[in-house]
Structures are given as structure tokens and as C-alpha cells.
Amino acid sequence: MRGKIVMFVGDSLGRNQWELLICMTSAAVPQSRMQMMKGDPLSTFKFLDYGVAVSFCRSPYLVDIDVGEGKRVLKLDDISKNGNTWRGIDVLSFNTDH
């Protein structure tokens, strides 16, 4: 996985999986230099000695949401807002409870 990016996309279930993978991986390489960058919707944990990044993109519905006439509308055929964040990622894991 050297030089690769793994990304979890979804809601709190995906975030939990992301956190668990970070915990397991950091336990396996405890001497590695690590870096954490938290943000919304994107957080990334890097294993600097291996060039591996494990990211989480918060996207509860996986599709875009627009607001029209005071209501939220799921755009079931559109992922353009968050989809660009996923472009070029080596391994993607999509998971959402919704």
C-alpha cells in the first residue's frame, strides 16, 4: 500500500471504520511518523514513513442534497459536490446507515 490513499465515505459508521483502521495500522507500525489533519467534510491520517494516507469524507447520504422551497431534496442521480473529493483515490469504501 506504499504511496496509496484509502478513503472511507459515509456517515458515522464510515467514520468508525476509518478510526478503527487507523488504530490497527498505527499499532502495527508504532515507530512510524504520523500526521493527522481534521476537517469537515474531509479528515486524513498519514503514515509518513510509508506514504500511506487513510481519509474519511463525511457524506451521510452519498448523493448531493439541494435546498428548494425550504425543503432538503436528495439528488439521487448526482454526486458532483463530494464526488470530486473521491477522484484519484486508490481504495474507496462507501458506507452509510441512511
Could you read off the pLDDT of 11-20 as tens digits, one per residue? 999 999 999 9
Q: How many helices (H) and strands (E) does the chain have?
A: 2, 7
Question: According to the model, what pLDDT value does residue 57 have?
Answer: 93
Task: Encode pLDDT of 19-46 as tens digits.
Answer: 999 999 999 998 999 999 999 889 999 9
CB-side neighbour CA atoms (13 Å) of 50: 18
Q: How far apart are CA 52 and CA 28, in angstroms?
A: 14
Q: How far apart are CA 26 and CA 88, in angstroms?
A: 24
pLDDT of 80 over the 80 cut: no
Range of the domain at 59: 5-95
Read off the pLDDT of each residue in 77-89 and give the average, rounded to a whole number: 84
Question: According to the model, what pLDDT value does residue 65 have?
Answer: 85
Number of domains in the chain: 1
